Chain A
Amino acid sequence: MADQIQFELVAPERLLLSQPVEMIVLPGAEGDFGVLPGHAPFVSTIRPGVIAVFDGGQVTERLFIAGGFAEVTPERCTVLAEEAMPVGQLDRGAIDTQMREARNDLADAKDDGDRAAAETRITVAEAKLAAMEGTVY
């Protein structure tokens, strides 16, 4: 179909989603961007945030992504995710625990590497919380 684009979301361990959709909005490293069929070839890094899948003018699916890459061609949009799951599966208790652990690790961090790793985890946890409360387009 001409007005649809093939969207693929792949994690290292499995293929999460592969279906033709109308539009996808991705959280790019330098700002959110929408992908419609016929998009110019484009590669971007993804920051932690929410992928919104549009079909029939409606958001049909919201997926949380912890970072990764997107490759866009006129016919296809492929997202290589590090960690991804539907927003509905996020669990507030688990996120709070992650957040607390990450904060502790940040306090205990001995070198820059540890500190950066802990900070990344905090950013991811914050993004998860934002995703749970975030507005639907």
Chain B
Amino acid sequence: MPSLKDLKNRINSVKSTQKITAAMKMVAAAKLRRAQEQAEAARPFAERMERVLSSLAGGMAGQEGASPLLAGTGADTVHLVVVMTSDRGLCGAFNSSIARGARRVIRDLLGQGKQVKILCVGRKGRDQLRRDFGKLIIGTIEDVGRPRLGFDAADMIAHRVLEMFEAGEFDVCTVIYNQFKSAITQIVTVQQLIPFAQPEPAAGAANAGGERPFYEYEPSEEEILSELLPRNLAVQFYKALLENAASEHGARMTAMDNATRNAGDMINKLSITYNRTRQATITKELIEIISGAEAV
């Protein structure tokens, strides 16, 4: 049976842990709000980019000499999987669920006899995947979005991926990230970026494109497309990074909320034990005194 002093120490330590988790929860909530605002602000650009791109791509798809970013390299043997996680832990199942999703995708690809390369964005993803696929990881990008998540971070990732693509190091690029739904729910999303997979509704609109306005292009269609596609890649990465950041803070907020509540429960239990023990000690001492007095 633990002594009174031990119990007191434990209660104090749980109390200070609770203070930390409560503070982390507040910080995560504030950061979540900011991340959401940022995601909101980035939406118009992505939407319009998509509109221009799909009207362009609609006309270009299936044509000879279309950019490999749009049409693919023609091969399907080497896959690059970009796994986006956070750099820091203590955010519930956030990182593990991405790692689990990534493992499933990678196993699938390996099972089909494809070659897989992994690019990790965020330290935690690398740590989790290293055990199973250590040899497949070709690089890690860390400290993304510090101090502030900006478009240049996404641009940097896009550049790195594009360089590899141009060097012919892979054929298909897929990104795995957590899509933010609410502070409690995040959806692991697998999205193919290269070749550019057209969103379904846009593809439908392009097919019914007879009545769509015919654009004039300056300079040529190909030139615009060849500039637009790399830009689009950066935009997609940016979107994924923002979603991921919002998800991370949401997940951390929920996790810390739970932790705070659990710490509260634990303090209650420990206090009861402490009080009982103290009472028992007092009773024992009384019995000793009384029986001593009786014996005299």
Interface of A with B (CB < 8 Å)?
A: 8, 10-15, 28-30, 40-45, 69, 71, 73-74, 78, 80, 82
Q: Is the CB of B42 within 8 A of A12?
A: yes
Is B213 on the interface with A (CB-CB < 8 A)?
Answer: yes
Q: Given A11-B45, A13-B41, decide whether A45 and B227 contact each other with a Cβ distance below 8 A.
A: yes
Asked whether A41 lies within 8 Å of B215 as measured between CB atoms, the reply is yes
A69 to B235, CA, bound (A): 14
Among B41, B48, B154, B219, point to the contact of A80 (Cβ < 8 A): B48
Of all chain A residues, the one with the shortest Cβ separation from B41 is A14
Does B218 belong to the interface (CB within 8 Å)?
A: yes
Residues of A within 8 A of B49 (CB): 80
Q: State the CA gap A44–B52 with chains docked (Å).
A: 11
B150, CB-defined interface residue at 8 Å:
yes
A68 to nearest B CB, angstroms?
8
Report Cα–Cα, A41/B231, bound state, in Å.
Answer: 22
**Contact count band on B:** 20 to 34
The 10 closest A-B pairs by CB, nearest first: A41-B213, A12-B151, A14-B41, A44-B218, A10-B45, A41-B215, A15-B44, A42-B216, A43-B215, A71-B52
Residues of B48-97 at the interface with A, using a CB-CB cut-off of 8 Å, are 48-49, 51-52, 56
Does B48 lie within 8 Å of A71, measured CB to CB? yes
19 further A-B contacts with Cβ under 8 Å, apart from A10-B48, A74-B213, are A12-B42, A12-B151, A12-B238, A13-B41, A14-B41, A14-B44, A28-B218, A30-B218, A41-B215, A42-B216, A42-B218, A43-B216, A43-B217, A44-B218, A45-B219, A71-B51, A71-B52, A80-B45, A82-B231
Bound Cα distance A11, B152 (Å): 12
Q: Is A80 touching B52 in the complex (CB atoms < 8 A)? A: yes
Contacts of A80 in B (CB 8 A): 45, 48-49, 52, 231
0/1 string, B217-243, CB within 8 A of A gives 1: 111000110011001001100100000
